[in-house]
């Protein structure tokens, strides 16, 4: 299974999180890339906090996806609750999916990076400097290498696609 990680980043490398929307509003056509990728894959993997934030306002989109929430506590009956990244991928593989779409938040991104499961990275790089967005990290001493597959722009926003080496 190919695992695609989709994230919005600031110019200083911080993740731009939905919780920061009061401070910065990313253009919808670019910020919504995660949900567009999820629709392509037919599924979406999110952490509990991200799911709880988006579920009420994104019901129409989420009902068309196989939703996996990574959490230590059981979630809604209409989503699969995975305990870790490997469990999420295994569940989607058993359901017949060829790609998995990881779309937030910080802890979920890091679980996939630490486990080495992120095959592709899709980043929107926004021309803002922020604080408090968190960062993507691997396990201590672990290095993951990717190569640039595509770079394009949308106004001042760089849209980057990396593939694992």
For 109-128, the pLDDT digits (tens) are 999 999 999 999 999 999 99
- pLDDT score for 54: 85
Global pTM? Answer: 0.93
Is 164 among the domain residues?
no
Question: Which residue numbers in the chain have pLDDT < 50?
Answer: none
Is 155 among the domain residues?
no
Is 82 among the domain residues?
yes
Expressed as residue numbers, the domain containing 67 is: 7-144
Please tell me what DSSP assigns to residue 144: -
- Give just the sign of the alpha carbon dihedral 134, 144, 159, 109: negative
Is 162 among the domain residues?
no
Is 153 among the domain residues?
no
Output the DSSP codes for 43-87.
EEEEEHHHHHHHTTT-HHHHTTSEEEEE-SS---TTSEEESSHHH
Is 1 among the domain residues?
no
Give the span between the Cα atoms of 130 and 45, in whole angstroms: 25
101: CATH: 3.40.430.10
Q: How many domains does the chain have?
A: 1
- pLDDT score for 164: 97
Beta bridge partners of 45: 68, 102
Residue among 16, 4, 9 nearest 45 (CA): 4
């Amino acid at each position: 299974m190919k695992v695609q990680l989709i994230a919005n980043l600031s110019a200083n490398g911080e993740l731009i999180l939905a919780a920061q929307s009061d401070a910065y509003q990313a253009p919808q056509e670019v910020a919504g890339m995660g949900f567009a990728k999820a629709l392509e894959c037919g599924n979406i993997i999110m952490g509990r906090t991200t799911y709880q934030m988006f579920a009420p306002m994104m019901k129409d989109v989420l009902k068309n996806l196989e939703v996996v929430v990574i959490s230590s506590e059981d979630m809604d009956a209409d989503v699969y609750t995975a305990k870790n990244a490997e469990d999420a991928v295994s569940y989607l593989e058993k359901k017949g999916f060829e790609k998995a779409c990881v779309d937030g938040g910080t802890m979920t991104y890091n679980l996939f990076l630490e486990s080495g499961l992120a095959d592709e990275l899709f980043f929107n790089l926004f021309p803002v400097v922020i604080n408090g967005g968190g960062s993507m990290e691997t396990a201590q001493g672990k290095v993951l290498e990717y190569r640039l597959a595509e770079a394009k722009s949308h106004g001042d926003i760089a849209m980057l696609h990396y593939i694992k080496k």
